[in-house]
Amino acid sequence: MSDKTQIHLAAALDGAGWHPAAWREPDAAPAARLIGAAYWLEQVRTAQAGLLDFVTIEDGFLLQSDEFASPDTRTDRVRGRLDASLIAARLAPLTAHIGLVPTVTTTHTEPFHVSKTIATLDYVSTGRAGWRPQVGALAPEAALFGRRDLPALRVEDLAEPETQAVIRELFDEAADHVEVVRRLWDSWEDDAEIRDLATGRFIDREKLHYIDFTGRHFSVRGPSITPRPPQGQPPVVALAHSSVPYAFAARSADVVLITPPDPDAIAPIVAEIRQAQAAAGREGERLLVFGEFVVFLDEAPVTALARKERLDEAAGAPYRSDAPIFAGSPAALADQLAQWARSGLDGFRLRPATVPHDLDGIAYGLVPELQRRGLFRSGYAADTLRGNLGLPRPANRYATAAA
């Protein structure tokens, strides 16, 4: 990236914020408001005021936990959540321009249902839907459904061959899941609905296609019952920390989120993703790479650091994350984002440590600072998420084959 290339920004929304003690802040919403549409609407409208490309909404089938692979018994943390895709659908007609990207698992859901859900969200939002597929690798999660058994995972065993084999299998399944969803989105051609009153034909049946997908994990004939989404293919956003998920993202995603610990780690990760992208036959396609930060933002850096320390004390332990943690001023964060972008990143997904404080800091502190430097747009460039990300609307694979 040159010094004047504009970067993309997204926000990751989760509960009262990403710090476990965020709900205790004086400006945090009362617990009851977390389970309501108005709370989420306020956050998304703040992100939209900051001209962010999209927000992601966290989700999962297990109660949130401080433990890596099992539920905990803590009562001093936010527990419980709404369905991310339904939150997005509720907010879609009340917002404009900003993308809405719910998290939906691939491990315990059917791709036919997911394709329909995200396609519907794309219609309700008039082209602003995305999807963050997430693998569900934990045994307690699998036990909720009773369809399969998964081995208990431990952090210390993640590098073991047996554990890696389980992880690889789950990501292979996720790749098939995304492929089925994408094919179902294409199973209707864009002009399949003809609505011809003279002949009484609502659809052109020749423009609906069986996808006939048969793989190790799914066998789906199709077609979908939902017409092709307005974007054709709503963007797929994948979080990846290591080689197996990098390969999944390179094969299946439009945006990959990575968590390098420092700028020196960026180039090797990006190179690995590009190599995997070429190996997947996608070398000519645009695949955006975003970095991740958890952010504590205050005009005075000492205030941000003191706030983090106070939250850590309330939580009973220093906050740790899979992503780098930034505590400082919007100007200092702008410096860091510019530096990291020059190392090969297209943008960033920022996780506000507390809401509304740090989300406001992103929208009303960081964004104006980036705009002053010519690194962020002054208005939305398009009405769709793909358009704002600079992703072309893809051709329908089946229409091309038919032609």
Q: Decide if 350 contacts 12 (C-beta within 8 A).
A: yes
Q: Which of 301, 304, 314, 287 is nearest to 392 (CA)?
A: 287
Would you give the DSSP letter of residue 201? E
Provide the greatest CA pair distance for the chain.
Answer: 72
102 beta partners? 57
Would you give the DSSP letter of residue 151? P
3-state secondary structure of 332: helix
Q: Using CA atoms, how far apart are residues 185 and 183, in angstroms rounded to an integer? A: 5
In the chain, count of helices (H) and strands (E)?
14, 13
Q: Using CA atoms, how far apart are residues 36 and 59, in angstroms rounded to an integer? A: 15
Count of C-beta atoms within a 10 Å radius of residue 365: 20
Which residues lie closer than 8 Å to 293 by C-beta, 6 or more apart? 323, 324, 325, 326, 333, 336, 348, 350, 351
Q: Using CA atoms, how far apart are residues 147 and 98, in angstroms rounded to an integer? A: 37
250 exposure class (CB count in 10 Å sphere: 0-12, 13-18, 19+) = buried
103 annotated as ligand-binding? yes
109 annotated as ligand-binding? no
| Distance from the first to the final alpha carbon of the chain | 39
Q: Using CA atoms, how far apart are residues 190 and 151, in angstroms rounded to an integer? A: 43
Using CA atoms of 116, 287, 54, 257 in order, give the dihedral in degrees to the nearest 10: 100
242 annotated as ligand-binding? yes
H or E, element range at 25: none
104 beta partners? 133
Between CA 283 and CA 292, with CA 287 as vertex, the angle to 5 degrees is 140
Q: Detail the residues annotated as belonging to a binding site for FMN.
A: 59, 103, 242
Q: Detail the residues annotated as belonging to a binding site.
A: 59, 103, 242
